[in-house]
Amino acid sequence: MLGVEFKKAPPTVFVIQYQNGRVHRSGSGLTFWYFAPVSTIVEVPLASADWPFVFKEVTADFQEATLQGQLTYRVIDPQRLAMLMDFTVNSRGVYTSAEEPPEQLLGQRLVNAAQVIAKGIIEHMSLKAVLGSADTIVPLMLNALRESETVRMLGVEILDMSILSIKPTPEMSRALEAESREIIQQRADQAIYARRNAAVEEERRIKESELNTEIAVETKKRQIRETKIAADIAVEEQRTVLIEKQVENDRKEADSRAYALEATLKPVQSVDWRTLMAIGSRNGDPRFAISLAFQQLAENASKIGTLNLTPDLLQSLLSTGESQNVRKDNRSHS
């Protein structure tokens, strides 16, 4: 039939049929016939959609950071959205809007709302804090976006949001990389220093152990020397006792000999020496008699006037004494 069209919508598409400026029917997944010349068909997708975003913001230290991520949303009030944006389709299901497709415009509006929220968060943070705070920024942006008036007005629900990367400018990235390299190098130097310090400390403990061992050995050697010295002292003390005993014994022996000699000589102490000389001359030695005679002459020298002693006389007397001694020795041997 001329002008009559058939429409069959999937369950994820909300269809609104306007006829003569009024809503004739609406719903998701509708199937119906309609008269095209007097009807306007609007199709609002209900399925969740992912919309990527990339925008740049300035941090508190006036550095530029690029945020890259995506939004996940779905339409929960298609009639409100249809009143704000043109989702009209022709008989072939193609959007009739002369501008960009409405889905793209919807995604861009949501991205703009997310960028405004991100700007309010990032402008109070330094670049380093932003680069390392993706897990902190995402919940803040997601909660703020869900409570945004723009999102409510569009009849959209934000299901999820994720930030895939946060990057600084290339120049700042190289500067941060250099700083990070320096920090890593410092940590490496500290690790090397700690390892060397540990090696030195271990060497010190080894040296200390060796010195303690040497001290223990020297202590043992000193104890051995002290033991030997103590043994030598004991020996010397015993030797001293022995010497004292020997001296005491020798003194007693000398006292005994002195006593014996004194006892022997005591009887002759009162005898005149001349008598002793006379007794001694009885052994037959004429020289002893001659010496005794000369002793008597010496004692009576004052009484003698003249005394002539010739060498021949002395020689004859000595010769006579020697011949007598020889004869006595021969008789004794025989």
What is the C-alpha separation between 85 and 97, in angstroms, rounded?
Answer: 10
Q: What is the CATH number of domain 48-168?
A: 3.30.479.30
Asked if residue 156 lies in contact with residue 179, where contact means CB atoms within 8 angstroms, the answer is no
Residues 151-176, mean pLDDT to the nearest whole number:
91
Query: Tell me: the pLDDT tens digits for 165-200?
Result: 999 988 988 888 888 888 888 888 899 999 999 999
Pick from 129-133, 246-250, 311-315: least confident: 311-315
Domain residue ranges in the chain: 48-168, 273-333
pLDDT of residue 100: 81
- Residue 155 region by backbone torsions, left for phi larger than 0, else alpha for psi between -120 and 50, else beta: left
pLDDT of residue 49: 93
What is the C-alpha separation between 191 and 330, in angstroms, rounded?
Answer: 117
What is the C-alpha separation between 83 and 150, in angstroms, rounded?
Answer: 14
Q: What band does 120 get if pLDDT is binned at 50, 70 and 90?
A: very high
What Cα–Cα distance (Å) separates residue 140 from each residue in 149, 201, 267?
16, 51, 144
What is the C-alpha separation between 84 and 78, in angstroms, rounded?
Answer: 10
Q: What band does 318 get if pLDDT is binned at 50, 70 and 90?
A: low
pLDDT of residue 1: 54
> Is the pLDDT confidence value at 327 over 60?
no
- H and E: helices and strands count for the chain: 9, 9
Asked if residue 158 lies in contact with residue 72, where contact means CB atoms within 8 angstroms, the answer is yes
Query: Which residues lie below 8 Å from residue 105, measured CB to CB, with a gap of 6+?
Result: 85, 99
Q: How big is the chain, counted in residues? A: 334
DSSP strand E in the chain: where? 4-8, 13-19, 22-28, 31-35, 39-45, 49-58, 64-75, 88-89, 156-168
What is the C-alpha separation between 262 and 151, in angstroms, rounded?
Answer: 151
Query: Tell me: the pLDDT tens digits for 210-238?
Result: 999 999 999 999 999 999 998 889 888 88
What Cα–Cα distance (Å) separates residue 177 from each residue in 68, 173, 183?
20, 6, 10
> Is the pLDDT confidence value at 328 over 90?
no
Asked if residue 50 lies in contact with residue 44, where contact means CB atoms within 8 angstroms, the answer is no
